[in-house]
Amino acid sequence: MIDAISFKNGTFRYLDQRYLPLQELHVETRDHREAIEAIKTLAVRGAPLIGASAGYTVVLGVNSFKGSKEEFPAYFGQLIKDVEASRPTAVNLFFATKKMKAVYDANFEGDSLETLKTKMTDEAHKIYNDEVDNCDRIARHGVEQIKRDCADILKTRKLNVLTHCNTGTLACCGIGTALGVIRLAWQEGLIERVITAESRPLLQGLRLTAWELEHDGIPFISISDSSSAFLMQRGMIDFGVVGADRITANGDTANKIGTYAHAVSANHHGIPFYIAAPVSTIDITLKEGAQIPIEERNADELRTIFGTQVATPTTPVLNYAFDVTPGTLLRGIITEKKAVVGNYETGLREICS
């Protein structure tokens, strides 16, 4: 399996996803400011991977602290703020900083800074390893749900599945969330072909998901984002499964821009559309999707295509990185604890308690 990130001997190593699939560039750093920049620029990306990277970034920051114990609280507070300012939507980032803060709160008084550093490193590894395990469990629950929902089709043929953005190893540490479900479904002989939507403007579907599927030998075809409704009309998609950056208490889900349009189309055509995500992606403190902070990115991501200018530099651009799909459009939310189907208010609250 690809190592999207790793942390050894105080060094954070990441695969710079901006250059994939044309170049596999691994970068090593001991500087937390460089790690923050990697999150901001999407060199590392995908909600669970952002969370795990945030944990390691805090460790880098703590390791480079040179002051006295009295000076540490102010330094640590600023470090957490800087990490949290890197990307606003994926709640996994805040899940990770909350875990790191909890280690600080519980141990700062009693421990030396050296011991605190070790405990924080252990916590960051735990965040990473938990996400790896979560992916395996999500895949199992997802496959069971799909077998139930698509039982009639499966009597005569295999399934064609739509996915958006990248939710695989590159985004999650383990086998992936939505892509983990697809991987396991493929291994169990349920999948005919994966349809990967390109995911404009940064092309995570076309570049990254395609790269992972090719690597695994899973048949796939890439489409432009706007093609999915037409393929559904033609009977070329049997179900959709995507990841999430933040899920609110009522099941509304922020995910890569374009997801909502796929979900609306799937609903119109009576096609089941699922979210696959770890519990760390659920923000039970928010009632509904309108409360999710949606990242707006640099206009040049749209005006240029990988460095080539395609619109005038003055073209006004609105570049939302995510949209929100209402829970009512979802067939289910598949987590490592279970697949929540039906009443999200009750189901999500139960698995978050």
**Span 80-109, contacts to ligand MRU by CB under 6 A:** 90
Residue whose CB is less far from ligand MRU, 1 or 106: 1
User: Which residue from 169, 177, 265, 280 is in contact with ligand MRU, where contact means CB under 6 A?
Assistant: 177
The verdict on 53 binding ligand MRU (CB under 6 A) reads no
Q: 10 Å Cβ neighbour count for 251?
A: 25
- Rounded least distance, CB 236 to ligand MRU, Å: 22
Asked if 116 touches ligand MRU (CB under 6 A), the answer is: no
Residue 148 to residue 228: CA distance in whole angstroms: 23
| DSSP symbol at 296 | B
Under rule CB under 6 A, residue 327 binds ligand MRU: no
The owner of tokens 């999150």 is: 39
51 is a site residue for ligand MRU (CB under 6 A): no
Binding residue for ligand MRU (CB under 6 A) from 182, 210, 241, 321?
A: 321
Is 198:224 a contact under the CB 8 Å cutoff?
yes
Interacting positions 253-282 with ligand MRU (CB under 6 A):
255-256
Q: Report H helices in 45-198.
A: 47-63, 72-84, 91-107, 113-149, 151-154, 169-172, 178-187
Token pair, residue 172, equals: 């999650």
Rounded Cα gap, residues 314 and 317, in angstroms: 9
> Is residue 204 close enough to count as binding ligand MRU by CB under 6 A?
yes
The verdict on 200 binding ligand MRU (CB under 6 A) reads no
Which one of 130, 225, 238, 245 is the catalytic residue? 245
Task: Give the H/E segment covering residue 162.
Answer: strand 159-164
Helices (runs of H) and strands (runs of E) counted in the chain? 13, 16
Among 245, 252, 283, 336, binds ligand MRU (CB under 6 A): 245
- Of the two residues 121 and 255, which places its CB atom closer to ligand MRU in the complex? 255
195, 164 Cβ separation under 8 angstroms? no
CA separation for the pair 100, 95 (Å, rounded): 9
Contact between 330 and ligand MRU (CB under 6 A)?
no
Handedness of CA 122, 171, 305, 24 (dihedral sign): positive
Residue nearest to ligand MRU (CB): 243
**Side-chain half-sphere CA neighbours of 100 within 13 A:** 33
Q: What is the size of the binding site for ligand MRU (CB under 6 A)?
A: 19
Binding flag, residue 47, ligand MRU (CB under 6 A): yes
Q: Work out the number of other CB atoms within 10 angstroms of the CB of residue 196.
A: 26
User: Which amino acid, residue 24?
Assistant: E
Burial group, residue 314, by CB count within 10 angstroms (0-12, 13-18, 19+)? exposed
User: Residue 62 or 164: which CB sits closer to ligand MRU?
Assistant: 164
Does the footprint of ligand MRU cover residue 45 (CB under 6 A)?
Answer: yes
* Span from 43-51, 77-85, 93-101, 231-239 in contact with ligand MRU (CB under 6 A): 43-51
Query: Token digits for 98?
Result: 């909350």
Q: Name the binding residues.
A: 45-47, 87, 204, 255-256
Which of 142, 174, 205, 243 binds ligand MRU (CB under 6 A)? It is: 243
Taking the complex as a whole, the smallest distance from the CB of residue 109 to ligand MRU amounts, in Å, to: 36
Question: What angle separates helix 113-149 from helix 47-63, to the nearest 10 degrees?
Answer: 180
CB of 17 to ligand MRU, least distance (A): 8
> Is 283 assigned a catalytic role?
no
Tell me the window of 40-48, 112-120, 283-291, 298-306 that interacts with ligand MRU (CB under 6 A). 40-48
Question: Which residues form the catalytic set?
Answer: 245
- Where does this chain bind ligand MRU (CB under 6 A)? 42, 45-48, 90, 165, 167, 171-172, 177, 204, 242-245, 255-256, 321
